[in-house]
Amino acid sequence: MLTIEGLRLTRTHDGIARDVLQEVSLSLQAGEICALMGVSGAGKSTVLRAAVALEPFQAGRIVIDGVALTPGPVPQESALRNFRRKVGMVFQQHALFTHLTVQQNVALAPRHALAQSPAQAAEVAMALLDSLGVVHRAQAYPSQISGGEAQRVAIARALALDPPVLLMDEPTAALDPARRGALADTLRALAAQGRSLLITTHDLAFARAVADTAAVLADGVVVERGAVTQVLDTPRHEETRKLMAVDAQ
Ligand SMILES: Nc1ncnc2c1ncn2[C@@H]1O[C@H](COP(=O)(O)OP(=O)(O)OP(=O)(O)O)[C@@H](O)[C@H]1O
């Protein structure tokens, strides 16, 4: 469902080019939840940003449901639009539009990408907000809702075009344990619908609770990949052991 092949992404800082991702390859089946792990700065968020076409890369390709994103000259706007419909992203800070209501935030993509009427898009938004338990906040503005509610709204917005792939950056960063459990239930329900979920996290307990598989990123490549229990119970790579040491502190 989601395939990342040989992704190389270089950033230039002060005139010096550095490969943030050297050659990242990673495949997710439909319905799979994968925890993407690695020490701070390993490039986890960068993988997500590339996979949602927010950051250009120099080599490799990303394929979702047969639609490929490749490097090279800036892709045509229509090709980019086609790809972006296939993938939703939930940012760590949620990135909701503050001047729009909750309902308008979720209705934006159906309005513009699918050219739905305001009434149709509002209906889609209300159904999604309802399924995520935040429909009662539909007319509020982002500044008026809690962090947990904002995350649910951000998930609803990411699902507005019904993408087969959902990406989430550090979803438990600001959640208390009860909300973490509720989030795990929500994510499992989304995967049960056949979506592939790629989630960056430092939270090993959450990874165990929600993910089927794990991938560990280090030095610009995936150094460990397998069932989440196998990766965390029998870490084979130094970087995985480092993550476990940090978690134990
Ligand atoms: N906008 C940017 N411009 C330049 N360099 C960046 C930018 N964002 C991140 N970096 C650098 O790219 C590398 C990878 O960063 P990234 O945020 O992907 O790592 P991460 O594994 O998600 O880290 P964390 O766990 O701390 O969120 C780091 O060295 C970081 O300093």
How much is the pLDDT for 73? Answer: 61
* Antiparallel, parallel or unpaired: β 221-227 and 213-218: antiparallel
**Cα 55 to ligand 1 centroid, rounded to whole Å:** 12
* Antiparallel, parallel or unpaired: β 196-200 and 165-169: parallel
Q: Whose CA is nearest to atom 30 of ligand 1?
A: 41
Calpha distance 148→134 (Å, rounded): 10
Task: Return the domain boundaries, the chain.
Answer: 98-162
71 by Cβ neighbours in 10 Å (0-12 / 13-18 / 19+) ranks as middle
Q: Whose CA is nearest to atom 5 of ligand 1?
A: 11
Q: Whose CA is nearest to atom 27 of ligand 1?
A: 40
Give the DSSP letter string of 144-155.
Answer: GS-HHHHHHHHH
**Could you read off the pLDDT tens digit of each residue along the chain, which spans 249 residues?**
899 999 999 998 888 989 999 999 999 999 999 999 999 999 999 999 999 988 889 999 999 998 899 886 666 677 788 888 999 999 988 899 999 999 999 999 998 888 888 899 999 999 999 999 999 999 999 999 999 999 999 999 999 999 999 999 999 987 888 888 889 999 999 999 999 999 999 999 999 999 999 999 998 999 999 999 999 999 888 888 888 887 777
Calpha distance 108→127 (Å, rounded): 14
How much is the pLDDT for 75? Answer: 60
How much is the pLDDT for 1? Answer: 87
Task: State whether the beta carbon of 191 lies less than 6 angstroms from ligand 1.
Answer: no
